[in-house]
Amino acid sequence: MPDIRFEVLTVLVVLLPGFLAARLEQRLTVNPKQSDFDKTIEALLYSFFVYLTYTAIFRSPLPVSLNAQKVGETVHYSIEANPIRLAFLPLIAVVLSILVSFAANNDFFGRFFRLLRVTRRTWRSSTWADVFHSYSGVVQVELSDGRSVMGWLKYFSDRPEDRTMFLERAAWVDADGNAVLNIEWLGVARTTTTTTTTTT
């Protein structure tokens, strides 16, 4: 039983770069909701590409290997590692996740496949993300109570079900579409932060 635990531990150590890359990419990119199984599969794919990249760069065996030596009826396991080259694995994982996140957030993958006419979808998780990644500046938002507010879009929620935005230099909008009630202090326009929620 201890030998089995050792093998499992070794597999986890070998897969850690992939889990690191997947975790970082999930923090940098808004992805569709995933199950634990989906996250595990994604981490395994990242592990594959991390080791593929490592092999392409160094053209040498992997820096981590599991050795099994049978002594009598007992099998002894040991891990051999090259500490210097082992340090390159998390570095490759971080760089890979940053590149994937940059491409996904800027819709490079979606543009490529749309150019090939394979799909008409973007790579982002929702139309909400598409709009606010592609456009910026002044927005006018209708609140759930019927009032409207206008301001510079500073932050917005990752997912459309949250429907939260943060506006700078916010002002109410009257029935004629005019911005009113700018917040001023000593005659100078002051930057304010307003939380608004769009209607469904």
Model pLDDT for residues 75-99, shown as the tens digit of each residue: 776 667 677 778 888 999 999 999 9
Neighbours of 124 (CB within 10 A): 23
Which of residues 29 and 125 earns the better pLDDT score? 29
**Is residue 5's pLDDT more than 90?**
no
* 8 and 100 assigned to the same domain: yes
* 85 and 171 assigned to the same domain: no
Q: Of the residues 66, 86, 115, which one is the last residue of a structural domain?
A: 115
The residue-averaged pLDDT of 125-151 equals: 78
**Using 50, 70 and 90 to split pLDDT, how confident is the model at 1?**
very low
> Where residue 149 sits, what CATH number does that domain have?
2.30.30
Query: Has residue 6 been placed in a domain?
Result: yes
The residue-averaged pLDDT of 22-39 equals: 86
* 134 and 111 assigned to the same domain: no
* 91 and 134 assigned to the same domain: no
Q: Of the residues 115, 143, 174, which one is the last residue of a structural domain?
A: 115
- The model's pTM is 0.65
Number of independent structural domains in the chain: 2
Mean pLDDT computed over every residue of the chain: 76
Query: Has residue 159 been placed in a domain?
Result: yes
| Phi, psi values for residue 79, rounded to 5° | -110, 130
Query: Has residue 122 been placed in a domain?
Result: no
**Using 50, 70 and 90 to split pLDDT, how confident is the model at 156?**
confident
Q: Which residues contact 139 (CB under 8 A, 6 or more apart)?
A: 150, 151, 152, 153, 165, 167
Which of residues 190 and 150 earns the better pLDDT score? 150
* 105 and 180 assigned to the same domain: no
Which whole-number Å values give the CA distances from 148 to 25, 151, 190, 195, 200, in the listed order?
36, 10, 20, 12, 14
Reduced to 3 states (helix: H, G, I; strand: E, B; else coil), residue 195 is strand
Q: Of the residues 115, 147, 167, which one is the last residue of a structural domain?
A: 115
Which pLDDT score is estimated for 181?
61
* 19 and 42 assigned to the same domain: yes
Query: d(Cα 110, Cα 118) in Å, to the nearest integer?
Result: 10
The residue-averaged pLDDT of 15-24 equals: 90
* 25 and 85 assigned to the same domain: yes
**Is residue 178's pLDDT more than 60?**
yes
The token duo for 149 is 């507010």
The residue-averaged pLDDT of 150-156 equals: 81
Choose the weakest-confidence range: 6-20, 27-41, 104-118.
6-20
Q: Cα 88 to chain center, whole Å?
A: 22
* 105 and 175 assigned to the same domain: no
Which pLDDT score is estimated for 24?
93
Beta strands 148-156; 164-173: pairing state:
antiparallel
**Using 50, 70 and 90 to split pLDDT, how confident is the model at 40?**
confident
The token duo for 112 is 């490529």
Q: What residues are paired with 74 via a beta bridge? A: 71
- Residue 181's domain comprises 127-197
